[in-house]
Structure 1
Amino acid sequence: MTLGQSATPALVDAPANTPVMAVPMSQEPSYGSVGTTDTSATGTIVEDAWRLPTNDELREELLQRYSESEKTAAWARSAEIVKTYNDELVTRWKEEMDTLLAGLFSAVLTAFNVQSYQLLQPEPTDPTLAVMRQISAQLSSFSVNPAFVNSTQHPLTDNDINPSFHAPSSAVWINALWFSSLICSLASASIALLVKQWLHELSIGVSGTSRESARIRQYRLNSLKRWRVGSIVIIIPILLQLALFLFLVGLVMLLWTLHGTVAAVASSLVGTLFVFIAVTTLLPVVRVDCCYRSPQALGIFMAIREVRKAARALRVSLAEWAWSLTKPWKRSAGLLGKAAELAWRVYVGACISMKDLPSWHGREQIDVAKGMHVLDRDQASMAYTTTFDSKYLDTVRPVLADLPWEHAVACYEDIFHARTRLWGTSAARTQDRFSRHSFDALQVLLTVSSDERDEEWQGTVTRVLNNLPPPSDTSDSDENVLRNLAVLAKDNSPCADKAFLRIIMHLRDYETREVFESREGIRAVMIMSEWRARFPGGTDISTTLRHYLQSIESVVRCALRSMSSDLSADDRQSIRTRVQSTLSAFRGFLRTSLWKEPSLYICLGLSNIVPLLVDLVRHDRGLVTEELAETLDHVWSAIREDAQDVADGERLRRVQAYIDWTGEVLEALKAVMDGRPVDAGGVLASDEITLAARFCDS
């Protein structure tokens, strides 16, 4: 299999238990032992213990990073912040609702009652007016004849002047409802005033923390429970709700006696309100997580619970009776035995169901136990999203390490998105004091086993990688950052490719030099680069070749960083043999015909690698062989001849510029290998290397 035949390069099998380092190879003769480090001309194989940590080791490291006391303190701090926020929120809402509602409602009712009670009295009658009406009626009733003048109107009596009065039934009901409503509202206000007086007396003399004050406080708390002050407090809102109900019913009755249209509109609005109250009262009975809890809902729940208990007790009694009847048949064959077995199962099921009736607060505890990780995650993120206190960001790191990976990453994303909403899309501002958390989230994701890494996991890793700050903005000098990226990059998934490209960006960034001069950092990148050189991956041949060339670049950069770091002699020698093996295999690849198809990428790849080889020769002449330099020169000459076939127009001009520049660097490489001086500020200018690297990675 060749690069031209598949997107994945052909692999050359390596001996077991050796560091794997392979390159895209063809079916032509092999030009380097793949998967081995050759320390001599005889081809002695060096086996060492260099490897990246497993997901279990990463998980164990994460668990041991913070002590139990640090985790406990972090959780306590989170709980304290959320508690303060919760108390302030509830207090504010209470103050908004508790603005003498009962007194206000009573004042409104009084205005209606002043007018409504008059419906129960007869209209006032003036006697003079009654006499005048009688005279007018008599004059109208006169019949005039020649012999006499006669009146058919009866004379006026006392009953006519002061007639008897019977109040209509609607007026009686309206006044009964409204005055009852007024009494309930005044009663709620009066009881609330009494309770406030009791609570005021309760707080006198218990401000200290001494044993004596504690005893007095406990004594008074016990008296509160003994005398059921809590039950009295529950009555107050119920009375106010009852007053509202009575008033609205009376109002609708009054409107129906006055005008049908107005009454219909008012009835629809009142009905909507009653439906809302009914739904919000019944929802907590059905749904455990509903926060519309009220004394009315508690009363309904307790009533339903008692009914269910009675029904289940009846079921148990009937099942027990049926079992007692069929028990003698349990060893019988046929229908009798089956009936006995059925009766026994029903009896056992009924007994078990009796235990499945938690209390009002017991239901909540059960639900909390089921979703404890979600609640912990929400608490940790809410402690920041409600305060935006940057100091808390240091507190939340032990919390992330103590959560399961799904909830830890969700907590991280909640905080990150909150910071994005606060600061906008500015990466530097969003990552201020937060870059460590991004790398923590990445390590948490790496603790997931391979069989659990589904598409959701891939998407989560990609989002975390996209959230990472640029290399120049990374303030975290922890060598684990590089190691974790290397662990992730040792794969051929899209997120692994992102991690690998980020490592390349870090290696090219001078400001991150201290991170990558550490022993663990260099070893991690070296192991990962060797693996990716063997398994470049990619969906097409050009991508595969680009990945391979970046792996070679990564190995060479690690070698350069190792020369200025405080590594042991054994580590330096191990890195040296690995670099020699990598460059030998690279030379073998260049001597094949595989690079000729996507020669554009070869050109750009060499523009990154060759300057590094010049620097490498300056530090260690034996790492770059004459054969490799000759092979590179041969490839460069072939690319220069084929440049017209791989690009045109502006792109051709840029490719030609890179080809010319690479040729100058190759001449510099030959000069360094021959011991001749080279102007490092000329052909090896860093800005040109950076431009070439960016063009290659695009």
Structure 2
Amino acid sequence: MSSESILQDREAKDGHALLDDRNDNTEAAPDIEAWSFPSPEAIREELSKEFPDEQKEKVWTEAAEAVKASYDQLLARWKEEMDTLLVYAGVSSAVLTAFNVESYHLLQPDPSDPTLAVLQQISAQLNGYTFSPPFLNSTHAATSVDLTRAQFHAPASAVWLNVLWFSSLVFSFGSALLALFVKQWINEAKVDGTSRQSARLRQYRLNGLVKWRVGTIVVIPPILLQLASVLFLSGLLVLLWTLHSTVAAVVSLLVASFFTFFLGVTILPVFKGDCSYRSPASVAMYVVLTCIRNVVLWVIRRVCREIYRLATRWVHVRQAQLDRLGDFAWRGYDDIPTWRGRDLNMIHEHHSSLDRAIATSAYSTTAHAKFLSSMPVIFTDLTPDDVVMCFDDLRKFMKGEWGQLPEIVLDDGPTPLPMCALYGLRHLLARPEKGDNEWVNDVHVVLYHYFMEGTITAHMAELSCKTLCQLAVEFRGYRHLATEDRQYRRVFGLTCATLELLYDQKGFGHTYDTLSHVRAMYEVEMAAWDPSQGFISLRDATQAISMLVHCIRATISGRSQLSPVQADAMLAWGKEQLPRLHQWLRDLSWTGLHKGCLALSGHTAQVLAFRHIASHLLVANVIDPLIALGSMQGGRELVSKELIVTIEHAWLRACLAYPDFAPLDAIYVWSSGLDQIDSRLTELCAIQQLDHELPLDSSVPHAT
């Protein structure tokens, strides 16, 4: 099921619904004040009805077939490698055994040594006799031979020779034994069929292979055999150097050439990604070097972080849970199930996580975008935690495979991944419990995969607007904690940027529901206006003002999918809010709003940069949206003369409150609208044919 077919089905449903709305001329005026965000139960019901059971079953079948093909191919490759390795290990072990049978004698004394000692003693005694007839005289005292007194010491070359060759034999036998184990594991891991239960069992087996590092164990036997070969050749050189230097020199040259080639083809793939000399030894070396690099960087960064923060660490020590001993002593235990029964019990217990792993494995094994497109279809069959784990699995796969969000995902089709993220966020909004740190972290995991690039459909725009607006309002309620505050800023800013991109730049039309979501977000943000929060509150309030103007522009533009009654109600609400904007600007006191405008903690730098930043906020969030509104048909009368004059005076008060400002090229000035605000105010005044006569340039000192 491709993303295009899913979106086309959704667009067709939305189109019929819109036609029915427009044909209904007896529609009652909507009660804007009574509108509210959908409850978690309503969101869950909407998500459960969005995709039919036949579509879900098709997605599950495709995912199961993809995982089965990859799984069978993996087992077949491992089995073939082990078969080849066993043949080589058998030949190697036979050769090594023949050599070791001869070499171990070098560690023992020669059996002829005692006999030779006795003969030498007899010869010495005979030489000590002199014959003077009729007497036989002995000139040497007779001594007995102590055969146990002389100790045998094996030569160092013999010791090293046997160490190398016997170690080689152990490695060869060890690789063969390990290969036999792997073949047994492969036979036990085979699963036939593509039914839902078979798919879960296969995924359970695959998870076990990954968890218990079977793939890592598979690469060990070839490495052991290579080490066995290296040890054997090293021992051969030791033997030859004790026999004949010329032969040893020639063989040493050949072995050195072989070792150089072996090291070269092993090391090159570590540093050259396009090198085809890949082997288990190369992979092991790459993993080791990568781990060392990561550990060293982690230590360096940790030290630098601690030096920078100059803070002490808090070490939390867990107390022993003594009640576990009582549970073990008094708890009753069930009978142990059979081998297959244990697997079925585990599958039943973890069926949701196995289903999630099937969905993500279908993409991670093929990297095909169609499995991303179809993933939202089966989200309703998963638990909320497993929906989040889907995105965690995707992030780990992308980071491990490509190091970051890959371009290949964008090339295959830019919509599947953000569509998955939007549906994932919808499922998070459907949770009954929200606001804790776990929920915030889950939102962060899913939001990592959201972006707006490439082809965007009307349904995707609607889903983005509704989801992000409600998410921003949800976060506003939990902003009292530091973590939620940072997340809220990100979500609120992302929501405003998405609305500007989709509806102002891309030209998509709003529905009454999406405009109601934007309106609710605006009202919540304006109600939270707090000058004591400084720059953060000013920025959020001006962005909320831009959302107000956005709603009015969308209502009178003619692009929105609104009935006449809905358009009148939304326009009436917008007209009621413009005086509120007027009053907010009149009451705005700029003093102290510079706090927090920079990451730097210095008060002077914030004061000098604030005039730049304040001008940017006014231009981007207030003046430019009002200019765009005044240039539309029916929008000129909404931008009143009083509102324009109030904006001018608000900017004048800002200049008087912050007379000094840093040069534009100062390193801490991250944004500025000083070079635009005068021209923008002139353009805004031209809507009502007013003259921009406020003496800003003459009353404000030059930059210092």
Structure 2 match to 1:517: 510
- Distance, in Å, in 2 between the alignment partners of 1:50 and 1:135 is 122
Q: Is the 8 A contact 2:421 2:449 kept in 1?
A: yes
Q: 1:511 to 1:588 in 2, by over 3 A?
A: closer
Residue of 472, 477, 497 corresponding to 2:489:
497
Residue of 689, 697, 700 corresponding to 1:671:
689
- Distance, in Å, in 1 between the alignment partners of 2:653 and 2:517 is 39
Does 2:435 correspond to 1:453?
A: yes
Structure 2 match to 1:441: 424
Q: SS of the counterpart of 2:49?
A: helix
Structure 1 match to 2:41: 56
Structure 2 match to 1:573: 568
- Distance, in Å, in 2 between the alignment partners of 1:625 and 1:394 is 43
Structure 2 match to 1:660: 678
Residue of 652, 660, 672 corresponding to 1:640:
652
Deviation at 1:147, TM superposition (A): 2.0
Matches within 5 A, 1:231-242: none
State the one-letter code of the partner of 2:563: S
Larger radius of gyration: 1
State the one-letter code of the partner of 1:484: T
Does 2:499 correspond to 1:507?
A: yes
Q: Is the 8 A contact 2:626 2:684 kept in 1?
A: no
State the one-letter code of the partner of 2:520: I
Residue of 373, 376, 379 corresponding to 2:358:
379
Does 2:548 correspond to 1:549?
A: no
Q: 1:47 to 1:559 in 2, by over 3 A?
A: closer
State the one-letter code of the partner of 2:57: T
Deviation at 1:426, TM superposition (A): 6.2
* 1:323-380 deviation per Cα after TM superposition (whole angstroms, max 9, x unaligned): xxxxxxxxxxxxxxxxxxxxxxx9x979x54x33234444444444444433333333
Residue of 385, 390, 395 corresponding to 1:406:
385
Q: 1:664 to 1:412 in 2, by over 3 A?
A: same
Seq. identity, %: 23
- Distance, in Å, in 2 between the alignment partners of 1:52 and 1:471 is 27
Structure 1 match to 2:368: 389
Residue of 650, 653, 669 corresponding to 2:663:
650
* 1:449-493 deviation per Cα after TM superposition (whole angstroms, max 9, x unaligned): 3x4431232233234434422467756742112110111111423
Deviation at 1:572, TM superposition (A): 0.3
Deviation at 1:511, TM superposition (A): 7.0
Q: Is the 8 A contact 1:427 1:469 kept in 2?
A: no
Tell me how many residue pairs correspond in the alignment. 445
Structure 1 match to 2:585: 590
Q: 1:86 to 1:659 in 2, by over 3 A?
A: closer
- Distance, in Å, in 1 between the alignment partners of 2:635 and 2:126 is 144
- Distance, in Å, in 2 between the alignment partners of 1:537 and 1:448 is 30
Q: SS of the counterpart of 2:688?
A: helix
Q: Is the 8 A contact 2:67 2:361 kept in 1?
A: yes
5+ residue gaps, structure 2, are 1-28, 139-165, 188-326, 480-484, 595-610, 692-704
Does 2:465 correspond to 1:482?
A: yes
Q: 1:594 to 1:356 in 2, by over 3 A?
A: farther
Structure 2 match to 1:307: none
- Distance, in Å, in 2 between the alignment partners of 1:123 and 1:598 is 100
Deviation at 1:575, TM superposition (A): 0.8
CA RMSD of superposed structures (Å) = 5.1
Q: Is the 8 A contact 1:590 1:635 kept in 2?
A: yes
Does 2:131 correspond to 1:144?
A: yes
Q: 1:512 to 1:624 in 2, by over 3 A?
A: same
Residue of 617, 642, 657 corresponding to 1:630:
642
Structure 2 match to 1:7: none
Q: Is the 8 A contact 1:59 1:447 kept in 2?
A: yes
Q: Is the 8 A contact 1:537 1:547 kept in 2?
A: no
Deviation at 1:670, TM superposition (A): 1.0
- Distance, in Å, in 2 between the alignment partners of 1:659 and 1:119 is 94
State the one-letter code of the partner of 1:560: R
Q: SS of the counterpart of 1:453?
A: coil
Structure 2 match to 1:92: 77
Q: Is the 8 A contact 1:77 1:395 kept in 2?
A: no
- Distance, in Å, in 1 between the alignment partners of 2:530 and 2:440 is 16
- Distance, in Å, in 1 between the alignment partners of 2:514 and 2:437 is 29
- Distance, in Å, in 2 between the alignment partners of 1:596 and 1:460 is 38
Deviation at 1:411, TM superposition (A): 1.7
State the one-letter code of the partner of 2:468: L
Deviation at 1:619, TM superposition (A): 4.5
Q: 1:150 to 1:90 in 2, by over 3 A?
A: farther
Q: SS of the counterpart of 1:630?
A: helix
Structure 2 match to 1:530: 523
Q: Is the 8 A contact 2:398 2:404 kept in 1?
A: no
State the one-letter code of the partner of 1:568: S
Q: Which has the higher contact order (CA 8 A, sep 6+)?
A: 1
Deviation at 1:415, TM superposition (A): 1.5
Q: Is the 8 A contact 2:391 2:445 kept in 1?
A: no
Q: SS of the counterpart of 1:356?
A: coil
Q: SS of the counterpart of 1:58?
A: helix
Q: Is the 8 A contact 2:623 2:680 kept in 1?
A: yes
Stretch deviating more after TM superposition (480-489 or 432-441): 432-441
* 1:21-47 deviation per Cα after TM superposition (whole angstroms, max 9, x unaligned): xxxxxxxxxxxxxxxxxxxxxxx9965
- Distance, in Å, in 1 between the alignment partners of 2:382 and 2:39 is 19
Residue of 622, 631, 651 corresponding to 1:609:
622
Deviation at 1:541, TM superposition (A): 3.3
Q: 1:569 to 1:45 in 2, by over 3 A?
A: closer
State the one-letter code of the partner of 2:389: A
State the one-letter code of the partner of 1:564: G
Q: Is the 8 A contact 2:552 2:571 kept in 1?
A: yes
* 1:214-268 deviation per Cα after TM superposition (whole angstroms, max 9, x unaligned): xxxxxxxxxxxxxxxxxxxxxxxxxxxxxxxxxxxxxxxxxxxxxxxxxxxxxxx
State the one-letter code of the partner of 1:438: A
Deviation at 1:577, TM superposition (A): 1.1
Q: Is the 8 A contact 1:416 1:430 kept in 2?
A: no
Q: Is the 8 A contact 2:533 2:593 kept in 1?
A: no
Deviation at 1:623, TM superposition (A): 8.1
Q: SS of the counterpart of 1:92?
A: helix
- Distance, in Å, in 2 between the alignment partners of 1:539 and 1:475 is 41
- Distance, in Å, in 1 between the alignment partners of 2:491 and 2:615 is 24
Q: Is the 8 A contact 1:643 1:656 kept in 2?
A: no
- Distance, in Å, in 1 between the alignment partners of 2:387 and 2:618 is 42
5+ residue gaps, structure 1, are 1-43, 152-177, 200-345, 675-698
- Distance, in Å, in 1 between the alignment partners of 2:656 and 2:341 is 79
Does 2:50 correspond to 1:65?
A: yes
* 1:529-560 deviation per Cα after TM superposition (whole angstroms, max 9, x unaligned): 23322234798133223222222211211221
- Distance, in Å, in 2 between the alignment partners of 1:75 and 1:46 is 43
State the one-letter code of the partner of 1:435: P
Q: Is the 8 A contact 2:644 2:685 kept in 1?
A: no
State the one-letter code of the partner of 2:134: A
Q: 1:526 to 1:381 in 2, by over 3 A?
A: same
Q: SS of the counterpart of 1:144?
A: strand
* 1:369-395 deviation per Cα after TM superposition (whole angstroms, max 9, x unaligned): 444433333333233223323333223
- Distance, in Å, in 1 between the alignment partners of 2:584 and 2:98 is 98
Q: Is the 8 A contact 1:423 1:430 kept in 2?
A: no
Q: 1:636 to 1:514 in 2, by over 3 A?
A: closer
Q: Is the 8 A contact 1:472 1:511 kept in 2?
A: no
Stretch deviating more after TM superposition (377-386 or 533-542): 533-542
Deviation at 1:107, TM superposition (A): 5.4
